[in-house]
Structure 1
């Protein structure tokens, strides 16, 4: 899924997944004191509360990016695309035979998602997911159409990651809402709307920061630092699991010991 050979070094095709959210996660996490040896011993997570939403968002984008690798030849994928003059970005932009798509990743692990024509509820709470995804799609269509000097239709997608249960009461008219596990198969089944030359042309333009009204990307993100944070969080979770397992195991053992002692006292009477 590499972009065309004409892409420059500043091409967004070189941008790694979740770059923007990882950058913000690390910025917020930098203010969190390191765990003490005692906290590490008991498996206390090193992740700060304010950094948690950014961390979970990064995990969601990384998971969707991993799945998009399965699209195969003829498809082009851009990740964490900076757009406009602010801090906004597009989680993923996919260009292929089925057309052009913006993918907004939502990490709702273990939660219940309800989808209606005009709203999405997460554990009963209303969200702005549909409005934001629709805006991303229309904005992308306008920018790419201007840069390519041709009409570029864009379909906005919300990819829901890790959801426990997703109920689709009524499908939204503009935005596609789908589980991340179904995303690649849905894209590959979608009817062909673009020829190979059109795909390469749009992909080459989309890879240039100027198409998104942005200067050449100069953001430097320490992805290795995020990997280290992720490893430390996983290790803390594993240690907590060991402690919980030890406590659960100790309960019946303590009960057996107490019962044996009580039985011994009764027999000796």
Structure 2
């Protein structure tokens, strides 16, 4: 987007205007920050330090369907499968209530979107893995903002600052055997799984 309209993009950045290019750029930066934090789950040194024998696996920017959608991060490990949607709000306050998430007081669709994304991933993974149900936990990782209120909505969406995400996942109740983690990771790595 920036290359297509370099002067307009530069001017908008200089004036601090909100543009589609800026939204994509800020979002991508947030996803990179979340990915850096998720690396703590897959780092062998960290696994030895925390005495975790089961490996965690993380896939980033997983293309889903054929309309250009993607899942920011898919995490597989002893605590199950999670879809992680990153939201980057530098300097904002994110409040988590029973059924709504607000950013600086404005309601968002974060809960609905996270649930939809997790349900879609569950359907696609189950179909590719032979039909057995694959529960998927919806997670929203918040970057650059202060998070207040609940840690989880009543619908089960975990809302967590990105730096706390590895700890939250690592300390969740074990739901998958080591063998099942490896089976699901093998399926999740296949592009055909996500075309649905």
> TM (normalized to structure 2)?
0.85
Classify the secondary structure of the residue corresponding to 1:135: helix
The separation in 1 between residues aligned to 2:18 and 2:147, in whole angstroms, is: 29
Q: Of Structure 1 and Structure 2, which has the larger fraction of its residues in helix?
A: 1
The corresponding residue for 2:119 is 138
The separation in 2 between residues aligned to 1:87 and 1:153, in whole angstroms, is: 24
The corresponding residue for 1:67 is 37
The corresponding residue for 1:200 is 182
CA drift at 1:124: 1.1
1:84 matches 2:65: yes
Segments of structure 1 that go 5 or more residues without pairing to the other structure are 1-27, 215-269
CA drift at 1:80: 0.5
Q: CA RMSD in A?
A: 2.3
CA drift at 1:105: 0.2
Q: Could you tell me whether the CA contact under 8 Å between 1:117 and 1:170 is conserved in 2?
A: no
Classify the secondary structure of the residue corresponding to 1:51: helix
Q: Could you tell me whether the CA contact under 8 Å between 1:29 and 1:48 is conserved in 2?
A: no
The corresponding residue for 1:185 is 167
The corresponding residue for 1:122 is 103
The corresponding residue for 2:81 is 100
Q: Of Structure 1 and Structure 2, which has the larger fraction of its residues in strand?
A: 2
CA drift at 1:44: 4.3
The separation in 1 between residues aligned to 2:31 and 2:64, in whole angstroms, is: 17
Deviations 1:116-157 (A, max 9, x none): 111111111111111000000111111101110221110010
CA drift at 1:63: 0.2
Cα 1:160–1:137, aligned 2, differ >3 Å: closer, same or farther? same
CA drift at 1:46: 11
1:167 matches 2:167: no
The corresponding residue for 2:21 is 51
Cα 1:46–1:170, aligned 2, differ >3 Å: closer, same or farther? closer
Runs of 4+ in 1 over 2 A off after TM superposition: 31-35, 43-50
Q: Could you tell me whether the CA contact under 8 Å between 1:158 and 1:177 is conserved in 2?
A: yes
The separation in 2 between residues aligned to 1:113 and 1:98, in whole angstroms, is: 26
Q: Could you tell me whether the CA contact under 8 Å between 1:97 and 1:199 is conserved in 2?
A: yes
Q: Could you tell me whether the CA contact under 8 Å between 1:91 and 1:105 is conserved in 2?
A: yes
Q: Could you tell me whether the CA contact under 8 Å between 2:151 and 2:158 is conserved in 1?
A: no
Cα 1:64–1:151, aligned 2, differ >3 Å: closer, same or farther? same
Segments of structure 2 that go 5 or more residues without pairing to the other structure are 45-54
Q: Which moved more, 1:46-55 or 1:168-177?
A: 46-55
Q: Larger C-alpha radius of gyration, 1 or 2?
A: 1
> TM (normalized to structure 1)?
0.63
